[in-house]
Amino acid sequence: MLHVDQRVECETPHMPVDTLTLSYDERVRGRLRVKTDSGRDVGLFLERGGVLRDGECLLATSGEIIRVRAADESVVTARVSTDLELARLCYHLGNRHVALAIGADETSGWVRFPPDHVLEDLARRLGAGLERHEAPFEPEPGAYGRAGHHDHHHGNHSHSHNHAH
């Protein structure tokens, strides 16, 4: 079994030797036993609290690099035609504290979320057209989940600024 315990930049001198296709729920977990796309057993022992993103690379203790792929899974894509409608849709769905993927293509802006009849009804009431389908789910990481930001609002800060909560 490959033992994976660290994330690495994909631009390392070594190329990925395998891929690991995972659902969003699997990419959230820090501890997991899975199989690579070629069928090799892998044990993930990663720092908790992060989400593996599509295209990210992992380093096995053997030195092998594995690229993460977001699996197609059941999602609902809600489409609206204007920026204001998209902002309104994101605002109201976001107030439900659910993971949302937000994007746009050549036809419209969209919000993607796991199937949920309450969220689907809300999106319809806000004028969105809905499509249930299979696609990768890559939700927004959130304001404090961005790479490089580790201010968790506890303990002593080594920097000075006010936190008005």
The per-residue pLDDT for range 64-82, each reduced to its tens digit, is: 999 999 999 999 999 999 9
Cβ 138 vs Cβ 54: under 8 Å:
yes
- pLDDT greater than 90 at residue 142: no
**Average pLDDT of the residues in 104-125:** 95
Distances (CA, A) of 131 to 24, 74, 107, 135, 165: 19, 10, 14, 11, 38
Cα gap 129→136, rounded to integer Å: 19
What is this structure's pTM?
Answer: 0.79
Q: Give me the pLDDT at residue 152, please.
A: 33
Pick the CATH number of 72-136 from 3.30.470.30, 3.30.70.790, 3.40.50.2000, 3.40.640.10: 3.30.70.790
Domain 2-70 class in CATH: mainly beta
**Average pLDDT of the residues in 26-38:** 95
Kindly list the domain boundaries of the chain, sorted by start residue.
2-70, 72-136
Cα gap 123→90, rounded to integer Å: 9
**Average pLDDT of the residues in 125-141:** 96
Q: Give the chain's mean pLDDT.
A: 86
